[in-house]
Each structure stands twice: as C-alpha cells, then as structure tokens.
Amino acid sequence: MSWDKMEFAAASLRHKLTEEPQVGLVLGSGLGGFAETLENPVYVDYKSIRDFPVSTVEGHKGRFVIGKKHGIQIIAMQGRVHRYEGFSARDVVFPIRTMWMAGVRTLFLTNAAGGIRDAFEPGDLMLITDHINMTGDNPLIGPNDDRFGPRFPPMGDAYAPKLRDLALHVAREQDVELHQGVYAGMNGPSYETPAEIQMLRAVGADAVGMSTVFETIAARQLGMRVLGISCITNKAAGLPGAVLDHDEVQAVAARARDRFQTLLDGVLKDLHTI
C-alpha cells in the first residue's frame, strides 16, 4: 500500500478526532468490547475507507472506535485483518501505519492465543515479552519508504520495557494474575499440529497465535512504543485439555473480558507516569 493511500485513510480518521490521538488499540477475537467503554465514541467502518483492508473473521466487527479514556484520546480497532484471509503482510499493517499517520505513537496489541506452557489455562492473560516470527514473511519486505522508518529497524526491545513494567505494576495492584511469555506468530488459518507445538516449545514459545507479529514489526519501524497482551483461550494442540475451535476461543475471551478490560483501563489510567 502506498503512502498516498494511507494518508487518505489517516485523513478519514483525523477529521473525526477532537485532538491528537495518543494511543492506538488493536482488539483481537472476543476482546473488542473494550472499545465500547470509550467516552463519546465515534465509529468508522473499515469498509467506509477507500482501499482499507476489511476483516472477514467472525468476532471482528471491522471498525475503528474513536473516543477518550482517562483524558487520553484513543483510536481503537475492533478487529484486525490477517495474512490467512488472503491479505499480504503489508496489507496487514496498513491499519497500524494509518493510525501512526493520524498521530498515534503508543500501540496496545491484544490477541487470542493458544497456551503452550503447561501451566497456562484458558482465560489466563499473558504479557508478551518477545515474539518469534514463524510466518516466513515480513511486512517490511520490498521497497522501503524511508518516511516509515529505517530499512533495518532493531527489534531488541520490540515490546517496550516501561510499558511492560507498568502493566505488571497495575496487575499487582488489581490482584490480576498476569503471566509473562514469548508469543509465536503463525500464518494459520489451520491450528497447529502437536508436532508443531512441540517445535515451538523447543524454540522458547509460551503461546501461539495468528496475528500481532507483523503489526509489532511495522510499529517498531515507525518508532512506536508497543505493549502486547494475549488472552490464552485454549491449550495448544497435543496438550491435555486442548479444545481447538473458534467459537470456543471467542467464548473464553468473553469470560476473561472483565479482567482484561480492568487491566487495560488501569494501564491507560497510569500511562502518564511513564
């Protein structure tokens, strides 16, 4: 996607804003309800924006929600697009670049993920400390537009340490259990085989999903701060108690909604401290 197309999309958001946005939220499967808690929400359907990639997955409403929380102007995404829907890696990060062009500099990424670590149970929350890109793809492949950032962006601190520390602090104050772990990104849409899960475990992954990695790579090239949180919605294939079903993923995410929303709310409330 070209700079001009993203600038058009960003303009579609900017004219709905009352002030410069500070935070962008990407809300994954079953987690989009947090956007409904924003003050004076304004809705912008993805399909209303020319050339914008539109979600096709059940549980993704496919719209931006613009509003405020604790005095912070927020652009939230209720649903995202994925590589498995037929979009290119660059298409997948079109919304991230659009929010950046609209003014967002801090990005919260959420997702539903399968738990690889034995101790994880459906409904647990995991703070992403790092990721492993298992997709064989990268949104930065191809000609580089220097306006988006350097050709070779570093990924040593892909998930901002200060934001992670803040999330852990808030979780302790709220008495919310927040695990920490490494997220493995796969293309999907098929769930992983037991052998693939054993491979991911061997290389250090604690959870696995089909999103987030491309978005983080693009955001870091843009210089954005990134916080990532996974809702563990199922045990991964081959583990005792594994149930691999998209309806179940959404149902578990819904059951974790209150803890998830309380945690996000607390992080936003204290964001001014870092």
- Segments in 140-256 forming alpha helices (H): 161-174, 194-202, 213-221, 246-255
Measured CA to CA, the distance from residue 223 to residue 105 in angstroms comes to 8
Structure confidence at residue 271 (pLDDT): 95
* pLDDT for res 255: 77
Would residue 82 show up in a list of annotated catalytic residues for this protein?
yes
Confidence of residue 79 (pLDDT cuts 50, 70, 90): confident
Q: Is position 12 annotated as part of the catalytic site?
A: no
For residue 199, the enclosing domain spans 3-273
Q: Catalytic one among 9, 35, 55, 82? A: 82
Three-state DSSP class for 14?
A: helix
Q: Are strands 225-235 and 106-115 parallel, antiparallel or unpaired?
A: parallel
85 given a catalytic annotation:
yes
pLDDT at residue 62, as a whole number: 87
> Each residue of 116-138: pLDDT tens digit?
999 999 999 999 999 999 999 99
Under a CB-based contact definition with an 8 Å cutoff, are residues 184 and 201 in contact?
Answer: no
Per the residue annotation, which of 9, 158, 234, 253 is the catalytic one? 234
Chain CA centroid to CA 1, Å = 20
What per-residue confidence (pLDDT) applies to 244?
58
The answer to whether residue 101 is catalytic is: no
pLDDT at 33: 84
In this prediction, residue 56 has a pLDDT band, given cuts at 50, 70 and 90, of confident
Q: Is 14 exposed, middle or buried (0-12, 13-18, 19+ CB in 10 A)?
A: middle
Verify whether residue 246 is a known catalytic residue. Answer: yes
**Burial class of residue 113 (count of CB atoms within 10 Å of its CB; 0-12, 13-18, 19+):** buried
Convert the pLDDT of each residue in 187-210 to its tens digit. Answer: 999 999 999 999 999 999 999 999
What DSSP designation does 193 have?
A: P
What percent of the chain lies above the pLDDT cut of 90?
75
pLDDT at 238: 64
Average pLDDT over residues 103-119: 95
Q: How far is CA 71 from CA 55, 74, 108, 203, in A?
A: 29, 9, 17, 42
29 is an active site residue? yes
Catalytic residue among 76, 99, 112, 160: 112
Can you tell me the distance from the alpha carbon of 78 to that of 180, in angstroms, rounded to the nearest whole number?
Answer: 24
Query: Angle formed by the axes of helices 3-14 and 94-102, to 10°?
Result: 60
Active-site residue, selected from the candidate residues 9, 10, 29, 167: 29
What token pair was written down for 225? 């701060």
Cis peptide before 189 (omega within 30 of 0): yes
Domain CATH code at residue 255: 3.40.50.1580
pLDDT level of residue 237 (50, 70, 90 thresholds): low
| Mean pLDDT, the chain, whole residue set | 91
Mean pLDDT to the nearest integer, 37-65: 87
pLDDT band of residue 141 (cuts 50, 70, 90) is very high
What SS3 string covers 72-88?
EEEEEEECCCCHHHCCC
Q: Provide the b/e sequence for 84-103 (b: ≥16 CB within 10 Å).
A: bbebbbbbbbbbbbbbbbbb
Query: Who contacts 117 (Cβ-Cβ below 8 Å, separation ≥6)?
Result: 179, 181, 206, 207
Q: How confident is the model at residue 243 (pLDDT cuts 50, 70, 90)?
A: low
pLDDT band at 2 (very low <50, low <70, confident <90, very high): confident
Inform me whether the pLDDT recorded for 240 exceeds 70. no
Reported as a single tens digit per residue, the pLDDT across 19-29 is: 899 999 999 87
Domain count, the chain: 1
> Residue with structure tokens 């990005």?
107
CA distances from 76 to 6, 80, 96, 150 (A): 17, 11, 11, 26
* pLDDT for residue 184: 98
Judge whether 112 counts as a catalytic residue: yes
**Structure-token pair, residue 227:** 């916080």
Residue 211 among the catalytic residues: yes
Task: Give the whole-number percent of the chain exceeding pLDDT 70.
Answer: 93
